[in-house]
Amino acid sequence: MKVTLLGAGAWGTAMAVQAARHLQSGDVCLWSRSPEQLEVIQRIGENAIYLPGVQLPQGLRLEGSLERAIERLSENDLLVIATPMSGLSETVAQVLRIAQHPLNIVWLCKGLEPSTTLLPHQVVDREDKLHSHGLQHAYGALSGPSFAQEVGNGMPCALTIASKSNALCDIVQGAFHHGNMRIYASDDLVGVELGGAIKNVLAIAAGIGDGLDLGLNARAAVLTRGLAEMMRLVKAAGGRPETCMGLTGVGDLILTATGDLSRNRRVGLALAAGKPLPEILGNLGHVAEGVLCASAVGNLATRLGVEMPITTMMSEVLSGKLSPQEALKKLMGRDPRVEV
């Protein structure tokens, strides 16, 4: 089997390394839009900017031509889009324009499209209608609790592939389920993708709480009530609330909200320390998807008539309308209610 990954950030690189650990030399290809980045990776054998300290396997092929990266794949191979959410629509459109036969396509990004509040699979659907010129591609979202650095270092990890196509789930398992990685299958795209988007916003909230020294009780309250918000929105959007109890919901929420490797949690910690958001994002050097999708999650919730107080407060903090302290006061000042 051949695998091509598009996007050589932290996660694309780590997943390329994971696939290359057991596939044949030359079967895994990592594409980057930046020739300068590829030249450095080639020279030092490491993606030092995005995934420092992880030696890339000799057999991992680096590619600067998008056409070559796509055209090497047959109908039984796998294409992985590893860009942030902001690059998904443009990248999938390019792929569909180049494709000469049906492809198996999965994406790794977590978030919503800010201007439309569409989930990743809905963005892909839209692009498919515009650019697939009659080819029937198979699509899916691969998500779950996974810090790139740990996967790059070969540490144990479990993920979920969500797709309507069982054949695609098998292909994804064939590419990544080996060694220290397990891949579970699901058909709940809405539940899997909304969990991945919302947990990033909640990780910012948990980071703010920890940065303000609000204590472990507060952290448990944010995670539990945040999970309730996630389940409500998933249900209203047509997904299965029980998906939120799995890897891509509570699993990823625990990881991201409590693990200091999380970029989203680190944004929250820095906001609590009073740093301005542009400075925080400038220093991060990576994407923090929760910052970009908090207001889209809030807008979707409003449209579907779902109450999401923690998410809404995060959106107000991130847009500069409220300070973290003011948001806390508002949350704690809410009227008592039944726990649902």
Distance of alpha carbon 94 from alpha carbon 264, whole angstroms: 29
Site for ligand 13P in 17-76 (CB under 6 A): none
Residue 88: closest CA among 113, 116, 67: 113
Residues binding ligand 13P: number (CB under 6 A): 13
Among ligand 13P, ligand NAI, none, residue 262 binds (CB under 5-8 Å by kind): ligand 13P
Q: How are strands ordered across the β-sheet holding 28-31?
A: 61-63, 28-31, 3-6, 78-81, 104-107, 138-143, 157-162, 181-186
Residue 314: closest CA among 340, 335, 294: 294
* Per annotation, catalytic residue among 164, 199, 235, 321: 199
Helix (H, G, I), strand (E, B) or coil at 158: strand
Distance of alpha carbon 156 from alpha carbon 175, whole angstroms: 16
- The CB-of-179 to ligand 13P minimum distance in angstroms stands at 18
- Cβ atoms of residues 154 and 57 within 8 Å: no
Q: Is 255 in the site for ligand 13P (CB under 6 A)?
A: yes
Residues 65-94 as x/- pattern, contact with ligand NAI by CB under 6 A:
-----------------xxxxxx--xx---
Q: Is 256 in the site for ligand 13P (CB under 6 A)?
A: yes
Residues 90-129 as x/- pattern, contact with ligand NAI by CB under 6 A:
xx----------------xxxx------------------
In this structure, the number of other CB atoms found within 10 A of the CB of residue 248 comes to 29
Active site residue 164: no
Distance of alpha carbon 52 from alpha carbon 21, whole angstroms: 18
Structure tokens of 191?
């539940």
Determine whether the annotation assigns residue 289 to a binding site: yes
State how far the alpha carbon of 311 is from the alpha carbons of 82, 96, 124, in Å: 26, 34, 25
Among ligand 13P, ligand NAI, none, residue 246 binds (CB under 5-8 Å by kind): none
Residues binding ligand NAI: number (CB under 6 A): 26
Q: How does DSSP assign 214-267, residue by residue? A: --HHHHHHHHHHHHHHHHHHHHHTTS-GGGGGSIIIIIHHHHHHH-TT-HHHHH
Helix (H, G, I), strand (E, B) or coil at 181: strand
Among ligand NAI, ligand 13P, none, residue 128 binds (CB under 5-8 Å by kind): none
Residues 92-111 as x/- pattern, contact with ligand 13P by CB under 6 A:
------------------x-
Determine whether the annotation assigns residue 10 to a binding site: yes
| Residues making contact with ligand NAI (CB under 6 A) | 7-12, 33, 50, 82-87, 90-91, 108-111, 146-148, 286-287, 289
Binding site residues for NADPH, as ranges?
11, 33, 50, 110, 148, 263, 287, 289
| Residues making contact with ligand 13P (CB under 6 A) | 110, 145-147, 200, 203, 252, 255-256, 262-264, 289
Binding site residues, as ranges?
7-12, 33, 50, 110, 144, 146, 148, 199, 252, 262-264, 287, 289
